[in-house]
Chain A
Amino acid sequence: MEKHVVLDHVSVTFDTPRGRFVALQDITLAIGRGEFLSLIGHSGCGKSTLLNVIAGLVMPTSGAALCSGREIPGPGPDRAVVFQNHSLLPWLTAFGNVYLAVHKVFGARETKAKLRQRTDAAIALVGLAHARDRYPHEISGGMKQRVGIARALAMEPAVLLLDEPFGALDALTRAALQDELMRIVADRQVTVVMVTHDVDEAVLLSDRIVMLTNGPAATIGEILTVDLPRPRSRLALADDSRYHLLRRRVLEFLHQRQLRPAA
């Protein structure tokens, strides 16, 4: 598989009032094109920081982060982010929020009609055509997160970065959105990096699961390849022994080898 995103001995330290804080230490990882990779670990282990390095929102203190063979210079629309708390702009409707991104990415090359068409297609893709003219405060948490996903996908990014995208949702909504995400990603050959703390979510969605050790100075503890055939169905997997074995290995890592730090 072609290497799409490469992290080469990446370390990130933050200067805080109480001195230097090493968030990530010596992360080396190659993510293939079209791969679905999950980052899992306890709270505060630097999963989101690692995602932000790929997004270009955080610069590595040492080491190199590359995308398509070139050093990541900063944030850019080729690497779309779905934020944990949806981050929709409250003064724009669902359509307006998606259109803002579409206009920025394609506005210079395409007509207004084409941009509107793209926006509507992205909204329809996440099943929100009926709510396109609603404002964020008028729709549910699950719908907001769908708009966030539509906004990211509408940019036609090469890399889709998901920061605990379903963490704030109830279990049923989360399952529905996970299924939808699997369907959408399968159609589009997009590289996905997802931060999660949900073991089932990681096993269900991922090709590989990167397990991070506890911070500070978190690093990669273990990488688990999920070789379950696709398309995957959560019902069929419920009786699948391989699924349970994989799940057990992630749980062992999280709860035996990396005991939760005293909260």
Chain B
Amino acid sequence: MMPYPTAKPFDRPAPVLPLPPQRRGHALRQAAGHLRRLLIPLAAPMLGLALFVGLWAAIAADGRIPGPLATWEAARQLFADPFYDRGPNDQGIGWNLLSSLSRVGVGFGLAAAVGIPLGFLIGRFAFFAGMAAPIIALLRPVSPLAWLPIGLLVFKAAHPAAIWVIFISSIWPMILNTAVGVRQVPQDYLNVARVLGFSELQTITRILLPAMLPAILTGVRLAVGVAWLVIVAAEMLTGGVGIGFWVWDEWNNLNVEHILIAIFVVGIVGLALEQLILLVARRFSPGQ
């Protein structure tokens, strides 16, 4: 701050060149502001990750779980050859991951094909809502894995049973969000459709579906999250090729580094799936 003469004006002359240093200070402060705006969004996550790795290393120090460095070394070897194939019980992590993703894709795709139209009917017609409400309320809180024996019994094979578990666990968010989406379409939009003289089909395709799309995609995003969450547990029980079975296999081999790697891989793939759907949502619902 510049000292300002107040008490004795003649005693102390005002500084002759007050502006340049102040301006330079201002520019500096502005640059610091820019730097801060750039760094803080980067620095906070970096610090968080560093603390996390530090904590991990501290816990690993007594040797019960592998530390970050040992895990990193194991990951480098593992990812050097992710797609090897030495028989059904020994395949690269890439194959396991792809196998899990395809199960999630099929189960989740079937759930979307059934759940979104069902949610639409429930949201649009009060009668369907009344019919479905008790069933949904009863079945939704059931743990996904409780459905596995039913799947094994009906399909008599592990692979379709795992898909069945994905289907039944990822269908609820899509039904519920689609139904809410239909109900929340403003009456104004429907009045526009009526004034324009749209048929029921035109109203659905031109007004309802685009208006509901953000809600549907929210349901899809939640469903993918659930599906990816459940697949690891389902595959632990069903076996075969898949990231969940791989974790179990490595536990039997007591290869804990690989279990930790699997946890990171599952997390990163889940994050990527969610971001992918957010990207689709932004692309297809401008302005909403």
Residues of A at under 8 Å CB distance from B?
A: 55-57, 74-77, 79-81, 83, 85, 87, 89-91, 100-101, 104-105, 135-138, 155
Contact = CB atoms under 8 A, between A and B. Distances in A.
A89 B196 contact: no
9 contacts: A56-B194, A57-B191, A77-B195, A77-B197, A89-B189, A89-B210, A101-B196, A104-B197, A138-B287
A90 to B, nearest CB: 4
Given A85-B188, A91-B288, A75 B206 contact: no
Contact of B197 (A75, A87, A136, A137): A75
Contacts of B287: 90-91, 135-138
B286 A89 contact: no
Given A89-B189, A91-B285, A75 B211 contact: no
A91 B213 contact: yes
> Which residue, B188, B189, B191, B192, has most C-beta atoms of chain A within 10 A?
B192
B198 interface: yes
A84 B174 CA distance: 34
Contacts of A87: 186, 188-189, 191-192
Q: Interface size class for chain B?
A: 20 to 34
Interface in B164-196: 186, 188-189, 191-192, 194-196
Contacts of A75: 191, 194-195, 197
B191 A81 contact: yes
Nearest to B284: A91
Given A57-B191, A100-B206, A90 B196 contact: no
A25 B198 CA distance: 31
Given A83-B188, A91-B288, A76 B211 contact: no
B195 A57 contact: yes
A49 to B, nearest CB: 14
Given A89-B210, A91-B286, A81 B188 contact: no
Given A135-B287, A136-B287, A89 B211 contact: yes
B207 interface: yes
Contact of B288 (A55, A57, A90): A90
A91 B191 contact: no
A225 to B, nearest CB: 29
Given A81-B191, A89-B189, A135-B287, A100 B213 contact: no
Contacts of A90: 287-288
B126 to A, nearest CB: 15
Nearest to B209: A91
Given A83-B188, A137-B287, A89 B207 contact: yes
Contacts of A56: 194
Nearest to B189: A89
B194 A104 contact: no
Contact of A74 (B194, B210, B288): B194
Given A87-B188, A89-B207, 19 more contacts: A56-B194, A74-B194, A75-B191, A75-B194, A75-B195, A77-B196, A77-B197, A79-B195, A81-B191, A89-B189, A89-B210, A89-B211, A91-B286, A91-B287, A91-B288, A100-B196, A100-B206, A104-B202, A136-B287
A81 B202 CA distance: 19
A3 to B, nearest CB: 23
Given A90-B287, A91-B285, A81 B211 contact: no
Contacts of B188: 83, 85, 87
A135 B288 CA distance: 10
> Which residue, B191, B194, B202, B287, has most C-beta atoms of chain A within 10 A?
B287
Contacts of A80: 195
Nearest to A55: B195
B191 A76 contact: no
A83 B191 contact: yes
